[in-house]
Chain A
Amino acid sequence: MTKLKKLLMSSALCLLPLAAFAEEVAAPAVISAGDTAWMIVATALVLLMTPGLAFFYGGLVRRKNVLSVLMQCFMCMCLMTVLWVVVGYSLCFGESRGGFIGSPGTHFLFKDVGIDANGTIPHILFAAFQGMFAIITPALIIGAFAERMKFSAFLVFSALWLLVCYAPLCHWAWGGGYFHGGESGNFLMAAETGAIDFAGGTVVHINAGIAALMAAIVLGKRQGYPNKISPPHNLPFAVLGAGLLWVGWFGFNAGSQLAADGVAARALMVTHVCAATAGLVWALIEWIKDGKPTVLGVISGVVAGLVAITPACGDASVGGALILGVGGAVIAYIFVTVVKPMLGYDDSLDVWGIHGMAGVWGAIAIGFLTIEGDPGAAQAWIQAKSVIATIIYTGIVSFVLLKLVDLVFGLRVEERNELVGLDRVDHAETAYTVLD
């Protein structure tokens, strides 16, 4: 098999919309019932991850802020969906503008996104599946600015972030953009080379992770951080959320094959193995270091493992998944418990530490571990380029975006309001009644 064919298989998610390339496809695409059935389910599973994330984060914050976190996640589900169908999908997968972004006109208001085949599934299903990724990625950032960001500023920032940070990255990885050199190469990638990112290590986790770090820095620390911050108010919620994330992630990862086949099945298995390994390792580290394994530790490890396998799940073996799980847990653990206190930024729910850094680990390590491509330093360097490009681009753009929104709206709630709690201040609601 030629290198090009191997590359296309290993980055199988790089499906270009039929509308733009109809003349180049030799045989007409046919819809497979099996693939379509699976992808409908996968789409639903990925959406389920966002309420799962909502409870994961919600349980970790103080009770006076739990509704604000749930609200922000649900608003992502609503707002990002509308933006997606109006212009988001087109920016990601429309006709490429120089490899940087898709044209907003190609699929404006889902133009030409119908029930005819895109690969072996209906085009509209592909767009729906991708749309669920566009929902959860901005939702991940919530963890960094939880408990202190104004709701209005959050809405504006998240909407703009989807369009100027998520869309380009998605286009680069999966829409025919910079992360693949194609026939003639580009400034980032040589011809016939491309970064492996099966389900979104760069597009989702490093992207959101670095934006989260910027948000933590620009917004500043919560009052009372680090010594007077209350513990998670409802760890059972966090565990429930983690469970929903784990299962939903099967849709996220195995669904990225866009087909009901062996690669999808293997993606499911390695996802599962990586999550399990990472959970175990984090618990063991805590047991040795702090004397007791905690449930917060296990679920943090599991999420780190799920993140680490995300770019790699189309290309990793079970053995590779074990390695990715160990590395993901160790690296995320170090960034959460050592680097964060050392540097002093208040990434409230460890979005950079877990999503960002475990994502960096998985995205680069798959260069050495890939079983579909050519493992080795060359591919690892290609991986590193995609990671560095993500960090630089999103780091800068997120920072600028945050500063702009701060200028116009103000990012943080007032000091007294932060102490009273966002639920009452931004939503006039109370999560839990006291007497009845």
Chain B
Amino acid sequence: MKYIVAIIQPDRLDEVLDELDKAEVHLVTVTQVMGRGNQRGLAQVYRGHKEVGSLLRKVKLEIAVNEEFVDKAVGAIKSGAKVDAGSIGDGKIFVLDLQECYRIRTGETGTAAIGA
């Protein structure tokens, strides 16, 4: 079992969810986060006052998947999140080992609990 964490641009979320659906990965948790990469964000101007090094809005996806769906999910996220041929800010995908998974309703564990 693996746990996928992906940080993407907020405007790519719909596209990524579509691609995940096409890859038969339906389960997902989505949160709004703030973040920045090595470029240290974009400068914003307020009443003439320039603010540097600010955090930018991002969207985080978290998906628990069984082994056979890892590549499909990662591929779906990649193709949905990439802007044109690839731009700064497209994001990152982290794949973590998942130790255990429980379905609360039925008490199932393991790959059956993940479901997809």
Contacts and interface: CB of A to CB of B under 8 A. Distances in A.
A297 B49 contact: no
A341 B49 contact: yes
A271 interface: no
B52 interface: yes
A336 B48 contact: yes
Q: Is the interface of A mostly helix, strand, loop or mixed?
A: helix
Interface stretch (B6-14, B39-47, B90-98): B39-47
Interface stretch (A86-94, A225-233, A305-313): A225-233
Interface in A207-231: 226-227, 229, 231
Question: What 8 pairs between A and B have smallest CB-CB spacing?
Answer: A337-B48, A290-B45, A231-B46, A336-B47, A296-B47, A296-B46, A336-B48, A300-B47
B112 to A, nearest CB: 31
Contacts of A229: 49, 51
A226 B48 CA distance: 12
A350 interface: yes
A392 B81 CA distance: 61
B96 to A, nearest CB: 26
A216 to B, nearest CB: 15
A226 B45 contact: no
Contacts of B52: 227
Interface of B: 44-49, 51-52, 54
A226 B47 contact: no
A289 B47 CA distance: 11
Nearest to B47: A336
B47 A350 contact: yes
17 contacts: A227-B52, A229-B49, A231-B46, A231-B51, A231-B54, A290-B45, A292-B45, A294-B46, A296-B46, A296-B47, A297-B47, A333-B48, A337-B48, A337-B49, A341-B48, A341-B49, A350-B47
A408 interface: no
Q: Is the interface of B mostly helix, strand, loop or mixed?
A: strand
Interface in A283-298: 286, 289-290, 292, 294, 296-297
Contacts of B46: 231-232, 294, 296
Contacts of A338: 48
Nearest to A338: B48
A391 to B, nearest CB: 23
A290 B45 CA distance: 8
Contacts of B49: 226, 229, 337, 341
Q: Which of A231, A290, A292, A338 has the most CB of B within 10 A?
A: A231
A87 to B, nearest CB: 38
Q: Which of B46, B51, B52 has the most CB of A within 10 A?
A: B46
A183 B43 CA distance: 60
Q: Which of B45, B48, B52, B54 has the most CB of A within 10 A?
A: B48
Nearest to B48: A337
Nearest to A350: B47
A154 B52 CA distance: 32
Nearest to B45: A290
A122 B74 CA distance: 76
Given A226-B49, A232-B46, 11 more contacts: A227-B51, A229-B51, A231-B51, A231-B54, A290-B45, A297-B47, A300-B47, A333-B48, A336-B47, A341-B49, A350-B47
A289 B48 CA distance: 9
A86 B17 CA distance: 65
Interface in A248-296: 286, 289-290, 292, 294, 296
A337 B48 CA distance: 5
A337 B54 CA distance: 20
